[in-house]
Structure 1
Amino acid sequence: MTIEDTGPRPQAFDLETETLKNPNYRTVAWSGTYLQVTLMSIPVNGVIGLEKHPDTDQFIRLDRGRGRAQMGPSKNELTFDQEVSDGWCVIVPAGSWHNVTNIGDEPMQVYTVYAPQHHKPGKVHQTKAIADADTDDAPADWSVQPEPVADQHA
């Protein structure tokens, strides 16, 4: 990786190249006052993970691979179900349960944009298991956040 999260300072990098090179489940690439960019690599048959962000809109774009995007009003009612591939995006409204599953035969390379910031600036998680176990992954104190409402994970 050749990028470094510079916090809310100006930044420019080749997003597609860095997304395709990212070997980690999640790498926080840039953290601003109001939004954040992360790069993700989801292994074959892996998942981003069923979750709901009550106050966070999310934009996910696939730069490599094939996935299945599911969303809905509850974790047991995923009424949106769409196959996605290279070049597709998934728009996740705040409060929607959502998951993206890698249904292809290669790692699925995606980048995500959260608004507001969702992870600790510069945080790198090599695997989903490491990310799930991390208790030190809160947004920066200097980011603008809504009143605290906990994310929910299935």
Structure 2
Amino acid sequence: MYYSYPITYVVYPGGYSAAYGPRQQALAGSPPDYSLLRRNRGYGYDYRNGYVSADERRARLQDQGPNPFVLDIDEATEDNQTFRTAIWTGEHLQVTLMSIPVGSDIGLEVHPKTDQFIRVEEGQGLVQMGKSPEQLDYTANVDDGYAIMVPAGTWHNVTNTGGKPLKVYSIYAPPEHPRGTVHLTKADAMASE
């Protein structure tokens, strides 16, 4: 006896459609094989939000705050190519995307009155935190899926220790950077401070 699992259809621009879905599986307790499923990445038709072009995806990476806004943060973070881009700035909270090059870091910093949440979407890194720049006694290795909580007044740095860019998103409460901030490189970020 076989189960037949639903097939997911992805419709590409120009009308080409292809079926991707799990192959039939025997009832031997094996889970469905979803290896042929592809993430939409916004190039085809997204069932929830309609067609999303590459230009529209780039526009979504501009600061949308303080307006209501919804996006796939995992996808946006992985697609981001800038050192830092603010995608939403409100009165009490800010969301930024970061891409840290191999061997580089965020830069040792402290936010005296701002708590920070950092989520690693892709890559590997070393987190260092402490009460002063000379006393970074809290360290941890992080990779995909890890969350980093930085209390206000804590010195901290995140260094890319992997072989590809470290992709993270960061939430500041209250906002840390001016609305609409885009730093293409770390040098741009340092020059703006």
Partner in structure 1 of residue 150 of structure 2: 92
2:165 to 100, 103, 107: 107
Deviation (angstroms), 1:133: 0.4
Runs of 4+ in 1 over 4 A off after TM superposition: none
Partner in structure 2 of residue 116 of structure 1: 174
Give secondary structure in 2 for the equivalent of 1:46.
Answer: coil
Please give the residue correspondences for 1:128-139 in structure 2 after superposition, counting only pairs within 5 Å.
Answer: 128-134=186-192
**What is the identity percentage for the equivalent residue pairs of Structure 1 and Structure 2?**
51
Residue 58 (structure 1) aligned with residue 116 (structure 2): yes
1:35 to 87, 90, 93: 93
CA RMSD of aligned residues (A): 0.9
Q: How many residues align?
A: 135
The AA in structure 2 aligned to 1:62 is V
Measured in 2, the distance between the counterparts of 1:95 and 1:121 equals: 22
Q: Which has the higher contact order (CA 8 A, sep 6+)?
A: 1
Give secondary structure in 1 for the equivalent of 2:158.
Answer: strand
Structure 2, unpaired ranges of 5+: 1-57
Partner in structure 2 of residue 8 of structure 1: 66
Contact 1:2 1:18 in 2 (8 A): no
Give secondary structure in 1 for the equivalent of 2:141.
Answer: strand
Give secondary structure in 1 for the equivalent of 2:103.
Answer: coil
What is the TM-score of this pair, normalised by structure 1?
Answer: 0.85
What is the TM-score of this pair, normalised by structure 2?
Answer: 0.68
Measured in 2, the distance between the counterparts of 1:94 and 1:131 equals: 20
Contact 2:65 2:87 in 1 (8 A): no
Q: Which of these two proteins has the greater Rg computed from alpha carbons? A: 2
Deviation (angstroms), 1:8: 1.2
Measured in 1, the distance between the counterparts of 2:66 and 2:174 equals: 13
The AA in structure 2 aligned to 1:7 is G
Structure 1, unpaired ranges of 5+: 136-154
Partner in structure 2 of residue 149 of structure 1: none
Deviation (angstroms), 1:93: 0.2
Alpha-carbon displacement from aligned partner over 1:60-86 (angstroms, at most 9, x marks no partner)? 000000000000001000010000000
Give secondary structure in 2 for the equivalent of 1:117.
Answer: coil
